[in-house]
Amino acid sequence: MKRERNFILALISFLVAICARGDPGQDPQKKDLKPEEIIQAFAAKETEFYGAWIQYTYRQLADIRVVSINGVPMQDRLTLVSEVVFRDDGTREVRPLQRRGGLRALNWTREDTEVINNLQPFALTAKDLPKYNVAYEGKERVDELDCFVSCALSGNPYPRRETTSFRNSKRSDR
């Protein structure tokens, strides 16, 4: 509980520090940022966030409920409690602590538990940025904040420069 509270306090401090410094997109002198500069600045902040995130141990709770099957009300419930720890080398380890309840209406497999345990926030760090095709879509106002909207497509096994050279070689073959 104390670790969770410390994590929340650190996260709040981190967010307050970001707000205190201001967003370059909100600075009147920097309104004409190029999309690539916005994406790079975002990746830099995500790298900073990821570095802070891996310093903490936290408890993860998954509550799986079957509400109904084919319209028939059910009350099946499975609760999984795990501790997430980051090792010195940055790898993530999930330690199961507790499993309560059970599911009679469906078959819960070890693979299902693995999926739950390996859910983690997506951080588009500067190191991982070349693995994605990130497109700037424009600005949007959300809750009185001006936001930058972008789309990140994954699934490309090649870094951007290898894909470009592959495309260029295909064009030269025509």
Which residues have a Cβ under 8 Å from the Cβ of 34 and sit 6 or more positions away? Answer: none
The runs of H, that is alpha helices, within 22-109 are 35-53
d(CA 62, CA 119): 10
| Token pair 């030269």 in the structure block, residue | 172
What's the pLDDT at 52? 86
Radius of gyration of the chain (CA): 22
- Please count the other Cβ atoms lying within 10 Å of the Cβ belonging to residue 134: 21
**Per-domain residue ranges for the chain?**
29-54+123-173, 58-117
How does pLDDT run along the chain (174 residues), one tens digit per residue? 555 544 454 444 444 444 444 454 445 455 677 888 888 888 999 999 888 888 888 899 999 999 998 888 889 999 999 999 988 887 889 999 999 999 988 899 999 998 888 877 778 889 888 888 888 888 888 898 888 888 888 755 444 444 333 333 333 333
